[in-house]
Every structure is written in structure tokens, then in C-alpha cells.
Amino acid sequence: MRNYHLEYKVLIEDLAPLVHAQRAENLRKKLLIQWPHIDVLSAFYTHSEINDYLDSLLERFPKRVQVKQFGWSYERRPLKVLTITNGDGRRNKPVILIDGTVHAREWISPSMALYIIQQLLDNYGDNQELLQDYDWVIMPVVNADGYEYTHTDSRYWRKSRRPTSNPECIGTDINRNFGYEWGHDEGSSSDPCENIYRGERPFDQSESQVLRDVMLHYKGRLNFYLSLHSYGNYFLLPWGYTSDFPDTYQDMMSVADAGAKAIIYSTNGIYSYGSTYYVLYPTSGDTTDFAFGVVNATVAMTMELPAAGFQGFDPWISQIERLVTESWVGVRAMAAEVIRRYPS
């Protein structure tokens, strides 16, 4: 930087002690947990701990939950999906599908998914209207291998863990690997060493195949697809690959508007919303474009939760409650708007 006469400021000399301190705090907090029941607000949980928790819900809510394994990650971790109903036995209701942890380092994403689960199950009395005519399908961890790697080796890892054609560069960005308008150089990369590497071909990652299959399983019933990411305070709509707008763009904007207004009324949190291409940056082969363009989801959206911690992806445990409770206000309002607009 000095050679090029660029001004800079060192914010932290060594990030490792902070990462180690966060990891140690997380482990201490989890010693207090009464497994398999977990406290979403008290710790960040590994993929296996989350799966054990999902399985435990079958015993607690046998008439209202189903757990299904849709496949395996590259490193053979089971990828599980939870379905929540109101227990009335009605079949083929419209579906709200939520996924988390497409990007490994975004730990608040699975926390948010778990918080939604607890609101719909443990706090059912306050939220039963959200389940009267809709089922909720939630996949807390898509990128299980990458997520595990952030807990054990590299906290800020983003991609999957499957080797690439370059032995020096591991992993593919799952959110550039979906087979709708895949392969644009604007919004993805053909270089395996880049964080937005799209893979050699669409769906060449086990994890993207599983999420694709989950989406297609609910084709014809999928009224709201929501992918949880961090960070940025955004509601991102199709399209990511082009500056054009889909025909139902204004309808989706109305749903995003409901979420943004609910949050600002509740916490003064400010969300920007609109086309991914314009609001954030171009993307190619992402999950939201696939959900809308191929699965025909009525509303498809990526939610970028607020930043926290040193790099934005690394909130302290003490920040979980603020992040997930504010975000739930928005998710709940958007779900209610979808249910109102598209009754079963």
C-alpha cells in the first residue's frame, strides 16, 4: 500500500486472539446447555448439534413436526429439513421454505433459522395464525462441511469443502452454483481461488443438489422462499443476473416493504430492499433466482441480516438476541403478508 501511496489504517494487528476468545466463550456457554434442548440465544451450535436438536423435536411435537434427510454433504454429513405444521392433518398446504448457512461463515444465519423454529413451536400461541393454512419448511444448515470447518479451522471460510481443479483452492460458492442463468462472468467467477467461484458446472456440489431437490419437492406449493444470509440489512429480490425486473416484481416488493416497515416500527432498524442486481451487486446462479425462475416460487427473497462483530460475520454471543429478535419481526411480517396475499 505504501508503494502505491495508498492511505490505510490497521484496525487489529492479529485477528486470531479474537477468534479464539469467541470460540472459547461459545464452548463455555454450551457446557450449561441441557442437551438436546438448546437455547438459541446462548450459543452458536455445530451442524451435528443442530441435527440432534431437530431430531429431538419429533419427541416433543410428534403431531406438528417432521424431520427428513434429503441427502448428504460432500464429506457425508446428513442434510436435514424440518417441516412444521399446526397438526390438523391437512395435506398439500402452501409452503414457506427457509434455508440458512449457504455461506459457511454466516453463523447468525442458522441461529435465525433456529429462532424461527422456536417461535413456531415453543411460542405457538402467539404465532398460530402463521400455520393455520401454511406449512413451514426449514433447513438451518445447507453448507454443512463449510460450516463445520468454520468451527474447527477457519472462522471466515465461505465456500463448500469439495476440492476443485486447482489443488491449492478448495470449495465452491454454493450461492453461485444453481442452474438458472449459471455461468455469467458478471456475478460469479470461473477461478476456483475466488470466493464467488461458481463450480465447473451447475449443481456439481452435493449441497446445492440437496437444496435444489428440497425446492423442487415443493414446486407448485412454494409461495415464499427465504434464504437467510449475513450481513447488510437487505431484502434482495430477483433478479441477480440481470438488470431486468420480473413481471411480479412489485408484488414481491410489497412483501419486502411489509418486513422493512415492521422492523423500523419495532427497533428503528433500516433495511434496503429491491432487485439483487441493483441493491447489492450482480449475482449469477444464486438460490433466489432459481427458486423464482425454475421452481416458480410466488415470492423469492434473500434476507441479509445485520452485521455484528469485527468483520460483520462474527457476532459475539451477547449480540445474538438483538439480531434474531429484530429479524424475526421482519420475517413474521413478510410471512403474514404472503399469507394474506396468497391464501390457500
pLDDT in tens, 310-323: 899 999 999 999 99
Q: What is the pLDDT of residue 64?
A: 97
Beta bridge partners of residue 139, listed in sequence order: 99
Q: What's the pLDDT band for 37 if we cut at 50, 70, 90? A: confident
pLDDT in tens, 214-226: 999 999 999 999 9
> Active-site residue 304, yes or no?
yes
Nearest to 105 by CA among 272, 305, 262, 298: 305
Residues of the chain with pLDDT > 90: what percent? 95
pLDDT of residue 11 exceeding 90: no
Alpha-helix residue ranges (DSSP H) falling in 128-280:
144-152, 206-217, 249-267, 276-279
Task: Return the C-alpha cell found at 191.
Answer: 477461478
pLDDT at 51: 97
Say how far apart CA 236 and CA 299 lie, in whole Å: 11
Task: Quick: pLDDT tens for 149-158.
Answer: 999 999 999 9
Asked whether 198 and 183 are in contact (CB, 8 A), the reply is yes
- pLDDT grade for 337, boundaries at 50, 70 and 90: very high
Catalytic residue among 304, 321, 326, 337: 304
- AA identity, residue 49: E
Mean pLDDT (the chain) is: 96
In angstroms, rounded to a whole number, what is the distance separating the alpha carbons of residues 302 and 255?
12
The predicted model gives 182-191 an average pLDDT of 97
Residues 6+ apart with CB under 8 A from 254: 337, 341
What percent of the chain clears pLDDT 70, i.e. is strictly above it? 100
- The CATH number corresponding to 16-341 among 3.90.45.10, 3.40.630.10, 2.60.200.30, 1.20.1080.10 equals 3.40.630.10
**What SS3 class is residue 76?**
coil
Which contacts of 25-29 are long-range, i.e. CB under 8 A and separated by 24 or more positions? 25/316, 25/317, 26/317, 29/317
How far is residue 8 CA from its own chain's centroid? 33
Q: What is the pLDDT of residues 132-144, one digit of tens each?
A: 999 999 999 999 9
> What is the DSSP secondary structure assignment for residue 155, as one 8-state letter?
T
E-strand ranges in 157-276 read 222-230, 234-237, 272-275
Cα(first)–Cα(last) distance of the chain, in Å?
59
Confidence of residue 24 (pLDDT cuts 50, 70, 90): very high
How big is the chain, counted in residues?
A: 344
| Position 43 pLDDT exceeds 90 | yes
Strands 299-305 and 222-230: parallel
Mean pLDDT of 57-74: 97
Q: How far apart are CA 21 and CA 37, in angstroms?
A: 25
Distance CA 235, CA 248 (A): 16
What single-letter amino acid sits at 288?
Answer: T
Residue 36 has pLDDT above 90, yes or no: no
pLDDT tens-digit readout, 91-122: 999 999 999 999 999 999 999 999 999 999 99
Helix (H) or strand (E) holding 170: none
Average pLDDT estimate for 203-209: 98
**CA distance linking residue 307 with residue 22, whole number of Å:** 16
